């Protein structure tokens, strides 16, 4: 019975479960016995007592009844175990079907997602192509406008002085020159370092001859020479480290100075360029102002000339003016000769 109950994974305490089931069986048996005895008493009270009838408890065996109940409980447990195993198989089949359905749904969703990605990629490519086309059209329009504007500007009369070559050194030439100078300095430092390295690699001491020295003396001499060599090497190492630090500091300072010089040169170049632009703009404004003044003076002169022509008649008109029209001639233009002479007669 324990082996049958142990198959159920949900039961943790097998003995307690068996005791509980046995207690339930005993209670059910007691209830059935009590019901039987109640029924027996009821039958005896309703029927006449007859000594010829057999006693129903004559062949009653309690142990056999307990064994029967145990056998029934075992059979019931086997049925429950079979039903539980069948339920487990159904759960397993349903789980497998659910997993297959989830995998199928996942594949469908992946296909739909891949399709959406392809659509998004195609849409993005189309939008990008449209943007490129639009940008190309705008660029072509700009270049066409630029060419036409350059042509119009080239067709204008030149009023500014001819451009002059700048005397300031360009950035590229400064960078090349600085790079060449730094390369020479680096080569010099590398040569100096190589010479120092060769001097360090040479032995600084030689072992004394072994003749006439004991083992202790030889060991003492070796220890002293080794100590001296270690001290010399330590001193050289410290000196080298100090030299490296100094060279790094010098290189850093040199780089800082180079950067400062470059920045100052850039500032001076930008300042000179801004000054040239400002001077060019002032010269253009001055030339424009002079042109406007000449145009205004010309227009004023032409207006005054037109007014004078309208107000003063020609000498021919004054000579051949009719008497009736003499009053239209201003008095300051009427001479004495004109008044004495008479108008010519027509024949």
pLDDT by residue (tens digit) across 195-240? Answer: 888 877 776 666 666 566 677 777 888 888 888 888 888 888 999 8
pLDDT, tens only, 93-124: 998 999 999 999 989 988 898 888 899 899 99
Q: What is the pTM of this model?
A: 0.23
Q: Residue 88 is encoded by which pair of tokens?
A: 């487990």
> What's the rounded Cα separation, in Å, for the pair 59 and 5?
34
The residues, any chain, with a CB within 8 Å of residue 22's CB and separated by 6 or more, are 73
The model's confidence at residue 339, banded by pLDDT at 50, 70 and 90, is very low
- Each residue of 255-306: pLDDT tens digit? 999 898 989 888 888 888 888 888 888 899 999 999 999 999 998 998 888 8
**HEC letters along 307-339:** HHHHHCCCHHHHHCCCHHHHHHCCHHHCCHHHH
Q: What is the pLDDT of residue 314?
A: 57
Q: Where are the domains of the chain?
A: 2-47+63-132
> How far lies 125's CA from each of 43, 115, 121, in Å?
99, 15, 6
Question: pLDDT value at position 336?
Answer: 45
State how far the alpha carbon of 266 is from the alpha carbons of 144, 177, 202, 279, in Å: 34, 15, 49, 20
Q: In the chain, what percentage of residues exceed pLDDT 90?
A: 9
Query: Residues 161-202: pLDDT tens digits?
Result: 666 666 777 778 888 888 899 999 999 999 998 888 887 777
C-alpha 35, offset from chain centre? 86
Total Cβ atoms within 10 A of residue 102 = 10
């Amino acid at each position: 019975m324990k082996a049958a109950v142990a198959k159920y994974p949900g039961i943790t305490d097998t003995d307690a479960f068996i005791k509980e089931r046995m207690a339930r069986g005993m209670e059910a048996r007691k209830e059935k016995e009590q019901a039987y005895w109640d029924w027996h008493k009821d039958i005896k009270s309703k029927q006449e007592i007859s000594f010829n009838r057999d006693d129903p408890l004559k062949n009653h065996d309690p142990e056999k009844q307990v064994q029967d109940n145990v056998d029934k409980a075992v059979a019931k447990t086997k049925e429950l175990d079979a039903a539980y195993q069948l339920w487990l198989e159904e759960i397993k089949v349903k789980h497998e079907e659910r997993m297959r359905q989830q995998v199928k749904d996942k594949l469908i969703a992946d296909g739909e997602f891949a399709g959406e990605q392809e659509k998004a990629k195609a849409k993005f490519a189309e939008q990008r192509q449209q943007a490129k086309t639009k940008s190309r059209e705008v660029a072509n329009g700009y270049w066409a406008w630029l060419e036409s504007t350059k042509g119009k500007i080239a067709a204008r009369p030149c009023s500014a002085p001819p451009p002059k070559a700048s005397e300031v050194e360009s950035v590229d030439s400064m960078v090349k020159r600085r790079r060449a100078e730094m390369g020479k300095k680096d080569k010099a430092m590398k040569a100096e370092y190589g010479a120092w390295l060769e001097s360090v690699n040479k032995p600084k001491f030689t072992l004394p001859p072994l003749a006439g020295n004991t083992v202790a003396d030889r060991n003492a001499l070796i220890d002293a020479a080794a100590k001296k060599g270690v001290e010399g090497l330590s001193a050289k190492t410290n000196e080298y480290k100090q030299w490296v630090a100094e060279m790094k500091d010098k290189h850093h300072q040199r780089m800082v100075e180079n950067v400062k010089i470059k920045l100052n040169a850039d500032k001076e170049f930008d300042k000179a360029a801004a000054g040239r632009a400002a001077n060019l703009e002032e010269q253009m404004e001055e030339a424009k102002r002079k042109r406007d003044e000449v145009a205004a003076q010309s227009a004023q002169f032409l207006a005054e000339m037109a007014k004078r022509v309208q107000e003063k008649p020609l000498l021919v008109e004054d000579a051949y003016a009719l008497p009736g029209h003499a009053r239209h001639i201003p008095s300051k233009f009427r001479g004495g000769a004109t008044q004495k002479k008479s108008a010519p007669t027509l024949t």
